[in-house]
Structure 1
């Protein structure tokens, strides 16, 4: 049997790993969207191809650019 402290520590570790995975996948998605823009010409074309809004494409790309600029 584990203590509540051990369970808490395990949960914190799992949460930290999950956040890192989300950040990694967001970066990979943004890079793929940038490649899509290079191929199709516009964010709107990428959005239409994927069935999402242009705003969501733009937001993902801008978030990556902001992260890269901050680094």
Structure 2
């Protein structure tokens, strides 16, 4: 009986999480990180906190490609 309640509980939360999912489409090359963040802000309801001085000197990281 406990297992049934646990499965029901987790399935309800899974359905709820899927309803809040967003589709984001962004494709950039050689763009500044501030431009990417601005585009993400436009497509989502998220706000980003960052220090402009830190991002101004940020270098690209291609280690994942």
TM-score tier by shorter-chain length is 0.3 to 0.5
* Structure with higher helix content: 1
Q: What TM-score do you get using the length of structure 1 for normalisation?
A: 0.34
Structure with the greater alpha carbon radius of gyration: 2
Q: What TM-score do you get using the length of structure 2 for normalisation?
A: 0.37
